[in-house]
Amino acid sequence: MKNLLFFAFALLLTMCAQEPQPPKQYTIGQFYKNTRFYGGSFSPDESKLLVTSDASGIFNVYEITVADGSRRQITHSDKESFFGIDYVPGTGEILYAADKGGNELDHIYLLKSDGTSVDLTPGEKEKAQFAGWSDDKSAMFYLSNKRDPRFFDLYKMPVESWDAEMIYRNDDGYEFSGISHDENYLGLAKSITTSENKLYLFDRGQQKMIELSEEPGSYNGSGFSKDDKKFYYITNAGKEFAYLVEYEIATGKRKVLYETDWDVMYSYLSEHEKYRVIAINEDGRNKLVLLDNKTMKPIDFPEIEDGNVLAVNISDSEKLMRLTIGTSKAPNNIYVYNFDDKSLKKLTESLNPEINPDDLVAAQVVRFKSFDGLEIPAIFYKPKMASKDNKVPALVWVHGGPGGQSRIGYFALIQYLVNHGYAILAVNNRGSSGYGKTFYKMDDRNHGDKDLKDCIWGKKWLQSQDYIDGDKIGIIGGSYGGYMTMAAMAFAPDEFKVGVNLFGVTNWLRTLKSIPPYWESFRKALYAELGDPFTEDSVRLYNISPLFHADQIKNPIMVLQGANDPRVLQVESDEIVEAVKKNHVPVEYVVFPDEGHGFIKKENEIDGYGKILIFLDKYLKGEQKE
């Protein structure tokens, strides 16, 4: 009898060990008590880092002391988000950028030593972008559309006077792609389609253009050598994935410096060219390679367990390196590595200490076959409580774009939903970046059709998992992903039980006619991919716009929108909400008066994203909550 009891007890322990244990559940407020950190420019004496953080509830500029990680708030905005740019060389002053309410009309501000702020780019409709320092650090370069709202001219502004001088007038819609140290050469790009452009070197002295893009492809400038004899660029011309090229200006000779089986995203040289940094988009993850620039041999890189090195910044002395490290289970943290003594110091703790990271889930890359056999990559989040005996509801997540990519990394909303029992499959449908130029172009002039079918076959993949409740699958996405959500609800109304649309396009005719004026250089490329609303393409654009087919929507939807969104106007969301209400279908609508294309204020994220869970629990999971 005793042996029988022991066997039964052992069997019970084994069964408990095999059954997934539910994690502790956290509130949306707890998830947004996390602290986000961006940037990390070294101060002139390299004792501090200038970062942007939302520790105050809204993004402000902070300094972090390298020696001990102590943090000091520099700006104290409680209305608009301020984003740090850099220290002003030789002055102790700081540059930062801000728009108004998410309208994307960024200005560059100078924070003076006495604590006062000056708008260096004060035009009412002006959009300005920092473009670096002169080689002697005596002046700032920046781009501005104050002369013509469609195009960005290049200006030089000495730090002694802050009087701007235009050094390149852009009348032809070129995009700035770098300036040589002697200021004689400009890198300029010209969009043709969303997957192809032209790249030029403009000789300011001779007023001559040199085209580098002899073969069709995507081209991006990647800086000049210190002696200005070489120009570097990244292209996928003649190949599936982007690679790094060295171009010798005097002779026109080209040499491939680095390539792999994934896209090279960016590359740059440290101040004195001791190191070359190369970033690779490897299957939805960032991979950074650090090379000795003379030998092009890899340098040992500090490894952080479960860490994804998202970005680095090497100090001017080339003794220190700031690393931005992220995981799918925690927001980015900032580290500093010392090349001399090989020490690695963690300067931030971004995850709310109330949250145990063991209660969160690590993202995994999966692949599934779509309707035509094409393999579709995706990022999958499986709730810890999911099992064959405890099936969970699920969501297909669609990224922004078109042409964006869901990547492994931390997003509090995803972890919040997964923590509360929703599996999430972030589909990288055809047309997504990161998987080669053939895959990227597969949805051109085909939006709302094959890309939508990829999402539906993602749903089928979810249904094939024995821990998913196949009758409870919804779709969610932002911007282009919001469009895909509404397209799914209108054009495949039986596939998804609910849809959550974050500032998504619902009327392509209006959106493509009302794009911001500063997108002019990109407008024709966008029309080449999606269609020109002023031509016979308007028929197809009408046919793929969910607004005009809203009478087919029969399942509950939720819409979130920023009132100041310059890309997807609020009227897009207003109209789809009213149209769906006519079907007597449940609709939840949240509008933030102080947000643009995406939400960045913690109080708004807590409010809006918290309501998403309430909506899903009611209409997808089937739970009624007060």
CA dist., res. 64 & res. 48, Å (int): 5
Stretches where the chain sits below pLDDT 50 are 1-17, 624-626
Amino acid sitting at position 154? L
Give me the DSSP letters along 468-528.
EEEEEEEEEEETHHHHHHHHHHHHSTTT-S-EEEES--S-HHHHHHS--GGGHHHHHHHHH
| Contact by Cβ (8 Å): 557, 499 | yes
Amino acid sitting at position 542? Y
Write down the pLDDT at residue 100: 93
Instruction: For residue 327, give the nearest of 349, 352, 345, 310 by alpha carbon.
Output: 310
Strand partners, 159: none
Instruction: For residue 425, give the nearest of 489, 389, 477, 375 by alpha carbon.
Output: 477
Write down the pLDDT at residue 300: 83
Write down the pLDDT at residue 13: 42
Going along the chain from its start, the domains and CATH numbers come out as: 35-173 (2.120.10.30), 359-621 (3.40.50.1820)
Amino acid sitting at position 600? I
User: pLDDT tens for residues 568-618?
Assistant: 999 999 999 999 999 999 999 999 999 999 998 999 999 999 999 999 999
Cα 613 versus chain centre, distance: 23
User: pLDDT tens for residues 541-580?
Assistant: 999 999 999 999 999 999 999 999 998 999 999 999 999 9
